[in-house]
Chains A and B, each alone.
Chain A
Amino acid sequence: MTDKLMTEEEVVGRLRSGMTIAIGGWASRRKPMSIVRAIVRSDLADLTIVTHGGPDLGLLCAAGKVRKAIYAFVSLDSIPLEPHFRAARQAGTIEDEPLDEGLFHLGLQAAAWRLPFLPSRAGLGSDLLRDNAGLRTFTSPVPGRNGEGEELVAMPAFRLDASICHLNRADRRGNAMYLGPDLYWDDLMLQAAPDGGRFISAERIVETADLRDQGCIHQLRISRMMVDGVVSAPGGAHFTLCEPDYPRDEAVQRAYAASAGSPEAWAAFRAEWIDVAEAEYQRRVGDTTA
């Protein structure tokens, strides 16, 4: 049996500057924040981030780690717009590859199925075809009901080097489950990344035999065949929402958002919440919620 347990720092050790990395979760929900924070503290740079964006992308932008963002939206949920991402876009410090949410899904699915692209109508007529140079239209080789091939958009497969997701429960081999209402795109992100680059963190590591009693069978959606590394990370999604284990920490999220206001504010937030070891971080979280 392969034991895939590792630390956040060991995950970072397997990443390289210039990589394209998908980050799971959705907006400010179940984001692998302990690994994101470890990336912020590392020497990694020039990353391309593929995400249903939230504070994962914002933090990495604020820390100067991002070369390019690939996304359909970036939001903090309770704070509709992500201030650090906005600052980077408005300062012109990152490249931008916008997508439609449905095309984002197809980019992951195409990569997971080893296809060059998947077809869609989404994007036709919009400026997405102007702003994302990778999108092309083509005439369907298969006629429609009217006997003619119609114009469609080809959504290219994402070319990922790694994927990082946070789940509620996992075993040491990489089987994992979500316990909230939505898996988001975590399973597809892991399937879309190459072997060796697929990492999860989890609120709690349990024995394989105990997984089924943690929730219901339908929530066991991450297989060890999709995973190369497992991080034990209680509180690892903080300050984002991680139902049912904990709600979003709105106070820390507000402090994070406010830190986009000035370099000094960002430096202070970073010193308090980023440039600290994970154990110390979780101790501070305990202090704020006690």
Chain B
Amino acid sequence: MVAVAECFRGDGELLANPIGTIPMIGGRLARATFEPDLAMTDGEAALVANDRAVVPPDERVIEYWNPYRSMFDWVWSGRRHVMMGASQVDRYGNQNLAAIGDYGRPRVQLLGYRGAPGNTINDPTSYWVPNHSPKVFVEKVDTVTGIGWDRAAALGPAARFVDIRRVVSNLGVFDFETPDRRMRLRSVHPGVTVDDVVTATDFELETAADVPESRLPTPEELELIREVIDPEGAREREVPDPD
């Protein structure tokens, strides 16, 4: 959650749009602590000011009516930082949400392209992967739905708004702050070794000689998550507490 929150540090006043339980809690944590001006959705048709991640409809503090169609106003104007899922992601941050196998006759049909092409070409994008494995962190994704840094480089000026920021998995945090924008292991979560991450990754990761550990939540952040943002413990259903 803290690693997710850190993805939004420095974003200021834009639509932070983390999709999924853990990303939503992490985004709320960022806003409740170091990024107070982030705007966030209720997962449906409103931008809400509540710190709590899942709010009963009549307890929402609504800032703006945001039907699905309005989302493209934010996306196309560059005022959104989305955190999407990825069924596959590769070393340059190309994402696949659409289908596993040959696209024409897929082995496994997934959701579709959704908004990934438009998100990645227009706005900062990060990814959340709760199940880090060589089947997800692949050498080459089967279908590029969200474009990565290599595709952006090939496009030239047309890709000037592309900004694939981070990937957060259940094992560590990854960025693309390398000369050729290959994925780099930025930190490993407590209890995870660099070897664990390398073994669970199908491509060669850039790793520093001394990879730091992801920072732990502060006591204040822990209290916020437990008491305010996610009092029902929805987070435990996605990443079980190791205790």
Give bound CA distance, A95 to B104, whole Å.
Answer: 9
Chain B CB count within 10 A is highest, among A96, A102, A123, for A102
Known: A127-B98, A131-B103. 19 other contacts (CB 8 A): A72-B112, A73-B111, A74-B112, A90-B107, A90-B109, A99-B113, A101-B114, A123-B117, A123-B121, A124-B158, A125-B144, A126-B113, A126-B144, A126-B146, A126-B147, A127-B103, A150-B158, A181-B65, A185-B69
Residues of A within 8 A of B120 (CB): 125-126
Q: Please report which residues of chain A, range 90-110, place their CB below 8 angstroms from some CB of chain B when the two chains form the complex.
A: 90, 92, 96, 98-103, 105
Q: Is the C-beta of B56 less than 8 angstroms from some C-beta in chain A?
A: no
A121 to B108 Cα, complex, angstroms: 28
Q: Which residues of B contact A71 (CB under 8 A)?
A: 112
CB neighbours of A81 from chain B (8 A):
109-111
CA distance in complex: A104, B103 (Å):
20
Inter-subunit contact A122/B107 (CB<8 Å): no
- Distance of A184 from chain B, by nearest CB (Å): 6
Are B118 and A125 in contact (CB-based, < 8 A)? no
State in angstroms the CA–CA spacing of A120 and B154 once bound together.
Answer: 18
Q: Residue B113 contacts which of A72, A80, A185 (CB distance < 8 angstroms)?
A: A72
A103 CA / B122 CA spacing, docked (Å): 13
11 contacts between A and B (CB under 8 A): A71-B112, A86-B108, A100-B113, A102-B76, A102-B118, A123-B117, A124-B121, A125-B151, A125-B158, A126-B116, A126-B145
B-chain residues with CB within 8 Å of residue A120 when the two chains form the complex: 76, 118
At the interface, yes or no: A151 with Cβ under 8 Å from chain B? Answer: yes
B157 at the interface (CB under 8 A from A): yes
List chain B positions with a Cβ less than 8 A from chain A: 44-46, 65, 67-69, 72, 75-76, 98-99, 103-118, 120-122, 143-147, 151-152, 154-155, 157-159, 161-162
B67 engages A181 (CB within 8 Å): yes
Q: Could you tell me if B155 and A151 are in contact, using CB atoms closer than 8 angstroms? A: yes
Q: Which of B109, B122, B157 has the most CB of A within 10 A?
A: B109
Q: Which residues of B contact A75 (CB under 8 A)?
A: 111
A80 pairs with B111, CB closer than 8 A: yes
Task: Tell me if A266 counts as interface (CB < 8 A to partner B).
Answer: no
- List A45-68 residues whose CB lies under 8 Å from chain B: 53
Which residue in A74, A90, A101, A151 is a CB contact (below 8 Å) of B108? Answer: A90
B155 engages A181 (CB within 8 Å):
no
Do A121 and B69 touch across chains, with their CB atoms under 8 A apart? Answer: no
- Centre residue among A26, A120, A127, A181 by max chain B CB count within 10 A: A127
Contact in complex: B109, A127 (CB < 8 Å):
no
Whole-angstrom distance between the Cβ of B101 and the nearest chain A Cβ? 9
Bound state CA distance, A102 and B146, in angstroms? 14
Q: Which residue of A lies closest to B115 (CB)?
A: A101
Bound together, the chains give a CA A181 to CA B44 distance in angstroms of 8
**Contact among B106, B144, B155 with A90 in the assembled complex (CB-CB below 8 Å):** B106
Interface residues in A118-137 by Cβ distance below 8 A to B read 120-128, 130-131
Q: Which residues of B contact A73 (CB under 8 A)?
A: 111-114
The reply to whether A121 and B109 contact each other, CB–CB distance below 8 Å, is: no
CB distance from A95 to the nearest CB of B (A): 10
Q: Name the residue of chain A whose CB is nearest to the CB of B160.
A: A150
**B145 near A102: Cβ-Cβ < 8 Å:** no
Tell me, in angstroms, the Cα distance from A211 to B106 when the chains sit together: 47
A96 to B147, CA, bound (A): 21
Query: Chain B residues near A125 (CB, 8 Å)?
Result: 117, 120-121, 144, 147, 151-152, 154-155, 158-159, 162
Q: How far is the CA of A130 from the CA of B113 in the complex (A)?
A: 12
Residue A158 at the chain B interface, CB threshold 8 Å: no
Shortest Cβ gap from A246 to chain B (Å): 15
Shortest CB-to-CB span from A54 to chain B, Å, is: 12
Partner among A89, A151, A181 whose Cβ is within 8 Å of the Cβ of B46:
A181
Nearest A-chain residue to B146, judged by Cβ = A126
